[in-house]
Chain A
């Protein structure tokens, strides 16, 4: 298990370099010159501009520039935001926890909804419950997150006036009230993200349980007198989860995409909305850094999915 973990982590290193190369290529290929303004300014002589270019190494060969860029990224020197005038890493560290809390709760919600419903559907296939659940799941994953978000706001904030639709990080108050306000404002973003995720997970779960339930070892478990609950949890669900984890792992990039949209709709101050505001403000260092952070988050979550996979199916780590 430990060796497997190490091996999987080491595989990430070339992937990370690959992704950083892709990002760097995009940045280099992009038109526009950081010293363009100086070129059109008649007060700046061309020699000064050339000196500046040489100082920042813009005329060096590409591999040298790539190596320098990677080195400074690894040192934690992520540059300086043009707009908010602070270091990019400070800005991201301020915003990251909010994103992780919202995303984590949404995943939890998705698991809590999808696993029981998918399993129950598969135990009674083509029953009324199964048909309703399957239809709802289909509708759920056909609804784009931005539209679900607007529907939630329309229903829960405007018509019923139950929940606030703007996420605030500066809530006053202490103790229980403070927690309550935080939970209240997180309900809609978490629900939008979680339910979208739950919809596809329910379908995966139903299909996986249907495959597992007629296998011989389930019959064996029943035959040796295990209770229905133990059979279900330890023999059916655990084995059905193996393909589900793979399918969910493939969707991880989509989940982070959904996070950007929901953060933007509900104005959650996370890194997703930071990405959008910096794009609109032409704040290139922040845009690059947030994109890179998203890549790292995707890689770390797929690593976590692999670990879960190895725990569910110990044969994998011996391969």
Chain B
């Protein structure tokens, strides 16, 4: 109870009592580390990220080495996660696909956060008619049916982008842009709400009275203080984007078959469930573990950024 946030009365008392002074971010980090499940999630996610980054350097089997003698085999020493219907090594494919799935998740999240922050900031700072119009647009985007629209856009623009950027880069750009472009609304609303309350706070007013221009007020004073909820929403967005990409690939409309993302491996595996369940179980579990650990991290971050909730317990 004694140390809440330096700057509050309790924080000043703590400092006066000779305890080390800690910054707001250090406090947040400390609260995050106390959230046990969020820490477990971080460790699992870190392990997953490290293995897809460095795994292919250690496990050097090619992802498209066809070997019909070893097809649909369960886990063994030569193929730790078994093989698929062409005898391709699943561990190598999963490690490669994991890179794509995680890259899609992070890139789509960055797009969503950038659009959301920009729109929310403009809306919240400008107010008036601009705010009203941007919020109507946000509401309309919230009412769009996400997956059907995603499918429609991928269907209509797939071939054009493939021609323009090549089969892999084209579909990557398309999927990332569309997932990010359909997920910014929550961030925009959060940022706008933060701006509306922060705009009237004393520290912004003092900056204004000292002659800070609007851009400086926003970038230097308001934006950094409204980042907490955005970071939480961004974390959850990574998970949502990974699920969206896997869903597309699972429906056979995402990445082409030679790029084995986790969703794509599941799509290929789903018709062989009765005699090769391992083929579906490993990628499915990988998606599940990634999403679960990201969600727990998001939960921990939410508690860490909002100490009132934890104290309420």
Are B143 and A150 closer than 8 Å at their CB atoms? no
Please name the residue on chain B nearest to A146 by beta carbon. B250
Measured between beta carbons, the chain B residues less than 8 angstroms from A22 are 140, 144
Question: Of B147, B250, B251, B292, which is within 8 A of A138 by CB?
Answer: B292
Contact string, B291-313, partner A, CB cutoff 8 A, digits 1/0?
11001100100000000000000
Are B145 and A146 closer than 8 Å at their CB atoms? no
- Is B142 close to A, CB under 8 A? yes
Cα distance, A144 to B285, chains bound together (Å): 10
Are B280 and A150 closer than 8 Å at their CB atoms? yes
Q: Given A142-B239, A150-B280, do A261 and B155 touch, yes or no (CB 8 Å)?
A: no
Cα distance, A147 to B266, chains bound together (Å): 8
Shortest beta-carbon distance from A120 to chain B in Å = 18
Are A261 and B250 closer than 8 Å at their CB atoms? yes
Measured between beta carbons, the chain B residues less than 8 angstroms from A154 are 273, 277, 280
Measured between beta carbons, the chain B residues less than 8 angstroms from A150 are 266, 270, 273, 280, 284
Q: Is the interface of B mostly helix, strand, loop or mixed?
A: helix
Question: Of A27, A147, A250, A256, which is within 8 A of B147 by CB?
Answer: A256
- Is B247 close to A, CB under 8 A? yes
Please name the residue on chain B nearest to A258 by beta carbon. B147
Q: Inter-chain contact count A-B, CB under 8 Å?
A: 125
Are A30 and B156 closer than 8 Å at their CB atoms? yes
Are B143 and A299 closer than 8 Å at their CB atoms? yes
Measured between beta carbons, the chain B residues less than 8 angstroms from A261 are 147, 247, 250-251
Cα distance, A143 to B266, chains bound together (Å): 14
Question: Of A32, A253, A279, which is within 8 A of B144 by CB?
Answer: A253
Cα distance, A83 to B6, chains bound together (Å): 67
Are B148 and A256 closer than 8 Å at their CB atoms? yes
Cα distance, A237 to B277, chains bound together (Å): 43
Question: Of A144, A257, A299, which is within 8 A of B246 by CB?
Answer: A144
Measured between beta carbons, the chain B residues less than 8 angstroms from A256 are 145, 147-148
Are B155 and A279 closer than 8 Å at their CB atoms? yes
Are B140 and A18 closer than 8 Å at their CB atoms? yes
Measured between beta carbons, the chain A residues less than 8 angstroms from B159 are 31-32
- Is A107 close to B, CB under 8 A? no
- Is B149 close to A, CB under 8 A? yes
- Is A90 close to B, CB under 8 A? no
Are A139 and B292 closer than 8 Å at their CB atoms? yes
- Is A295 close to B, CB under 8 A? yes
- Is A287 close to B, CB under 8 A? yes
Cα distance, A290 to B288, chains bound together (Å): 30
Are A257 and B148 closer than 8 Å at their CB atoms? yes
Are A257 and B145 closer than 8 Å at their CB atoms? yes
Cα distance, A4 to B239, chains bound together (Å): 37
Cα distance, A55 to B277, chains bound together (Å): 55
Q: A154-B277, A260-B148, A260-B151 are in contact. List 12 more A-B contacts (CB 8 A).
A: A15-B143, A138-B296, A142-B292, A144-B247, A144-B288, A146-B250, A154-B280, A253-B144, A253-B145, A256-B145, A261-B251, A294-B148
7 pairs of A and B residues whose beta carbons are closest in the complex: A257-B147, A30-B156, A142-B292, A147-B284, A294-B145, A31-B160, A294-B148
Q: Which residues of B contact A (CB under 8 A)?
A: 139-140, 142-149, 151-153, 155-157, 159-160, 239, 243, 246-247, 250-253, 263, 266, 270, 273-274, 277, 280, 284, 287-288, 291-292, 295-296, 299
A-B contact pairs, 22 of them (CB 8 A): A18-B140, A26-B152, A26-B153, A31-B160, A32-B159, A142-B239, A142-B292, A143-B288, A144-B246, A144-B288, A153-B273, A154-B277, A250-B142, A253-B145, A260-B251, A261-B147, A279-B151, A291-B149, A294-B145, A295-B145, A297-B145, A299-B143
